[in-house]
Amino acid sequence: MFLCIGTNMTEAHPVAATFLKNAVLNGAELIVVDPRKQPLVSFASLHVPIKVGSDIAFLNGVMNVLITDDLYDREFVSSCCVGFEELKAKVLEYPPKKAAELCGISEDLIREVAHRLAAAESCMLCYTLGITEHTCGKNNVMSTANLQMLLGNMGMECGGVNPLRGQNNVQGACDMGALPNVFPGYQAVTNPDARAKFEKAWGVKNLPDKNGLMIPQMMEGLVDGTVKAFYIFGENLANSEPDIAKVEHELSSAEFIVCQDIFPTETTRFADVIFPAAAWCEDDGTFTNSERRVNRVRKVSEPPGMAKPNWWIFRELAKRMGHEWSSASSQELWDNEVSVLAPSLAGIKYKRIENDGLQWPCTNEDHPGTCFLHQDGCFTCGLGQFNPVDWTPPAEVPDDEYPFVLSTGRRLYQYHTRTQTGRSGMDFLLPEETADISPADARKLGIDHDEIIKVRSRRGAFEVKANVTEQIPPGMVWMAFHFRDTCANWLTNPVYDPDTMTAEYKACAVTVEKL
Amino acid sequence: MTTGTIRLNGNDVEFEPGQSILDVARDNGIDIPTLCYLKGATPTGACRMCVVEVAGARSLIAACSTPVTDGMEILTDSERVHRARKLNVELLLASGTHNCLTCEANGNCRLQDLAYHYGITDIPFSITPQPYPTETDNPFIIRDFTRCILCGRCVQACNEVVVNLAISYGYRGADSKIVAGTDVPYFESDCVFCGQCVEVCPVGALVEKKSRYMGRPWDMKKVRTTCPYCGVGCQLWLHINKEGKIAKVTAVEDGAPNKGRLCVKGRFAYDFIYSEDRLTTPLIKENGEFREASWDEALDLVAEKFKELKEIYGPDSIAGVSCARSINEDSYQMQKLFRSVIGTNNIDHCART
Ligand code: SF4
Ligand code: FES
Per residue in A289-321, pLDDT (tens digit) is 988 999 999 999 999 999 999 999 999 999 999
Q: State residue A373's pLDDT score.
A: 62
B44 lies in a domain? yes
User: In the predicted model, what is the mean pLDDT of residues A372-379?
Assistant: 57
Q: What is the pLDDT of residues B25-66, one digit of tens each?
A: 999 999 999 999 999 899 988 899 999 999 988 999 999 999
Q: Which SS3 state, helix, strand or coil, does residue A286 take?
A: strand
How far is B142 from B296, CA to CA, in rounded Å?
48
Average pLDDT on A169-191 reads 93
Q: Which helix H or strand E contains A200, and what residues bound it?
A: helix A192-202
Query: How near does any CA of chain B get to the CA of A145, in Å?
Result: 18
**How far apart, in Å, are the Cα atoms of B69 and each of B6, B55, B74, B182?**
8, 12, 11, 41
B309-330 pLDDT per residue, tens: 999 999 999 999 999 889 999 9
As for ligand 2, residues whose beta carbon falls within 6 Å of it are B 34-37, 45-50, 62, 64
Query: What does R_g of chain A's alpha carbons equal in angstroms?
Result: 24
Torsions phi, psi for A422 (to 5 deg): -65, -10
Q: Which of B271, B326, B347 sits opposite A234 (nearest CB)?
A: B326
Beta carbon of A14 within 6 Å of any ligand 1 atom = yes
Q: What is the pLDDT of chain A when averaged over all its residues?
A: 91
Check pLDDT > 90 for residue B221.
yes
- Residues facing residue A452 across a β-bridge: A465
In a domain, residue B218? The reply is no
Do the Cβ atoms of A304 and B280 come within 8 Å? yes
B23 alpha carbon – ligand 2 mean position (Å): 12
| Helix, coil or strand: residue A205 | coil
pLDDT at B2: 60
Using the mean position of ligand 2's atoms as its centre, give its distance from the Cα of residue B35 in Å.
6
Is residue B202 in some structural domain? no
pLDDT(A379) > 60: no
Residue-wise pLDDT for B198-216, tens only, equals: 999 999 999 999 999 999 9
Are residues A505 and A410 in contact, defined by beta-carbon separation less than 8 angstroms?
Answer: no
Does B344 sit within 8 Å of A208, measured CB to CB?
A: yes
Please give the single-letter amino acid code of residue B330.
Answer: D
Q: Is residue B66 in a domain?
A: yes
Angle between helices A55-68 and A84-91 (to 10 degrees): 110
- Residues A264-282 have a mean pLDDT of 95
Domain around B50: 4-77
pLDDT at B172 over 90: no
Q: What is the pLDDT of residues A504-514, one digit of tens each?
A: 889 899 999 99
Which residues have CB under 8 Å from A273's CB, separation 6+? Answer: A257, A258, A259, B282, B283, B284, B285, B293, B298, B301, B302
* Residue B230 near ligand 1, beta carbon < 6 Å: yes
Which of B254, B275, B336, B338 has the highest number of chain A CBs within 10 A, making it the mutation to test binding with A?
A: B336
Q: Which of B161, B325, B340 sits opposite A323 (nearest CB)?
A: B340
User: Which of B187, B232, B325 lies nearest to residue A234, judging by beta carbons?
Assistant: B325
Q: Indicate the pLDDT class of residue B129, thresholds 50, 70 and 90.
A: confident
Has residue B14 been placed in a domain?
A: yes
Which residues are paired to A183 by β-bridges? Answer: A187
Read off the pLDDT of each residue in B133-157 and give the average, rounded to a whole number: 93
- Confidence band, pLDDT 50/70/90 cuts, at residue A160: confident
Of A233, A289, A310, the CB nearest to B321: A233
Closest protein CA for atom 4 of ligand 1: B234
CB contact under 8 A, A296 and B225: yes
Domain end call among B36, B57, B77: B77
CATH fold of A2-164 reads Dimethylsulfoxide Reductase; domain 2 (3.40.228)
Question: What residue of A is the nearest CA neighbor of B188?
Answer: A429
Beta bridge partners, B286, equal: B289
* pLDDT confidence band for A374 (50 / 70 / 90): low
Domain ranges of chain A: 2-164, 170-368, 404-514
CB B324 within 8 A of CB B334: no
pLDDT at A231: 97
Residue A160 near residue A152, CB atoms below 8 Å: no
Asked if the model's pLDDT at residue A64 lies above 80, the reply is yes
Number of Cβ within a 10 Å radius of residue B99: 11
| Average pLDDT, integer, range A424-451 | 91
Q: Count Cα atoms within 13 angstroms, Cβ side, for B285.
A: 14
Ligand 2, closest atom to CA B34?
Answer: 1
Chain B hits for A226, Cβ within 8 Å: 316-317
Domain total of chain B: 2
- Residue B187 maps to a domain: no
Q: What atom in ligand 1 is closest to the CA of residue B262? A: 1
Measured from the Cα of A168, ligand 1's closest atom is 5
Determine contact, residues A425/B269, Cβ cutoff 8 Å: yes
CB contact under 8 A, A169 and B328: yes
- Tell me the ligand closest to B114's alpha carbon: 2
pLDDT band at A165 (very low <50, low <70, confident <90, very high): confident
Determine whether B311 is exposed, middle or buried from the number of CB atoms within 10 Å of its CB (0-12, 13-18, 19+). Answer: exposed
Non-local (6+) Cβ contacts of B213 within 8 A are: none
pLDDT at B126 over 80: no
Determine the distance in angstroms separating the CA of B100 from the nearest CA of chain A, rounded to an integer.
28
CA-proximal residue: ligand 1, atom 1 (nearest):
B266
The pLDDT value recorded for residue A291 is: 86
Q: Does the pLDDT at position B97 exceed 90?
A: no
Atom of ligand 1 nearest to the CA of B228: 6
- Is residue A84 within a helix (H) or strand (E), and if so which, with residue range? helix A84-91
Q: Of the ranges A62-71, A378-387, A455-464, which one carries the lowest mean pLDDT score? A: A378-387
Contact A227/B324, CB-based, under 8 Å? no
User: Cα separation of A194 and A209, whole Å?
Assistant: 10
Determine the topology of domain A404-514 in CATH. Answer: Barwin-like endoglucanases (2.40.40)
Which of the residues B39, B278, B299 would you substitute to probe the A interface, choosing the one with the greatest number of A C-beta atoms within 10 Å? Answer: B278
Among B191, B212, B97, B188, which Cα is nearest to B144's?
A: B97
Closest CA to A477 of A409, A415, A418: A409
Could you tell me if B251 and B262 are in contact, meaning their C-beta atoms sit under 8 angstroms apart? yes
From B77, B95, B116, the end of a domain falls on B77
Q: How far apart are CA B41 and CA B199, in angstroms?
A: 14
Residue A377's pLDDT band (boundaries 50, 70, 90)?
Answer: low
Rounded Cα distance, A190 and A181, in Å: 8
A381 pLDDT exceeds 60? no
Q: Which class for B164: exposed (0-12), middle (13-18), buried (19 or more C-beta within 10 A)?
A: buried
- Where do runs of H (alpha helix) occur along A203-304? 215-224, 237-240, 244-253
Per-residue model confidence (pLDDT) at position A411: 87
B51 alpha carbon to ligand 2 midpoint, in Å? 7
What is the distance between the alpha carbons of residues A118 and A125, in angstroms, rounded to a whole number? 13
Q: Is the dihedral of CA A323, A329, A330, A335 positive or negative?
A: negative
Tell me which of A218 and A417 has the higher pLDDT. A218
DSSP helix/strand/coil, A260: strand
pLDDT in tens, A93-132: 999 999 999 999 999 999 999 999 999 988 999 998 988 8
Choice from B229, B237, B252 to test ligand 1 binding pocket (greatest atom count within 8 A of CB): B229
Query: Within 13 A of B255's CA, how many CA atoms are on the CB side?
Result: 26
Distance CA B298, CA A36 (A): 48
Compute the distance between CA of residue A249 and CA of residue A53 in angstroms, rounded to an integer.
29
* A131 contact partners, CB below 8 Å, separation of at least 6: A5, A6, A7, A55, A137, A140, A141, A144, A163
- Do A180 and B345 count as a contact with CB atoms less than 8 A apart? yes
Could you tell me how many CB contacts below 8 A there are between chain A and chain B?
448
Judged by its nearest atom, the ligand closest to the C-alpha of residue B262 is: 1
Task: Indicate which CATH number applies to the domain containing B34.
Answer: 3.10.20.740
**Radius of gyration (Cα) for chain B, nearest Å?**
28
CATH number of A170-368, picked from 3.90.76.10, 3.40.50.980, 3.40.50.740, 3.40.50.300: 3.40.50.740
pTM of the model: 0.91
Tell me if A228 and B318 make a contact (CB, 8 A cut-off): yes
Cβ-defined contact of A173 to B341 (cutoff 8 Å): no
The candidate with the shortest Cα–Cα distance to B9, out of B59, B55, B57, B65, is B55
Last residue within a domain, chosen from B23, B51, B77: B77
Give chain B's mean pLDDT. Answer: 92
**Candidates A8, A11, A13: which one to mutate for ligand 1, based on the most atoms within 8 Å of Cβ?**
A13
3-state SS, one letter per residue, for chain B: CCCEEEEECCEEEEECCCCEHHHHHHHCCCCCCCCCCCCCCCCCCCCCCCEEEECCCCCCEECCCCECCCCCEEECCCHHHHHHHHHHHHHHHHECCCCHHHCCCCCCCHHHHHHHHCCCCCCCCCCECCCCCCECCCCCEEECHHHCCCCCHHHHHHHHHCCCCCEEEECCHHHCEEEECCCECHHHCCCCCCCHHHHHCCCCCEEECCCCCCCCHHHCEEEEEECCCECCCCEEEEEECCCCCEEEEEECCCCCCCCCCCCHHHHHCCHHHHCCCCCCCCEEEECCEEEECCHHHHHHHHHHHHHHHHHHHCHHHEEEECCCCCCHHHHHHHHHHHHHHHCCCCEECCCCC
Distance CA A421, CA A431 (A): 11
CB-CB neighbours of A115 under 10 Å: 15
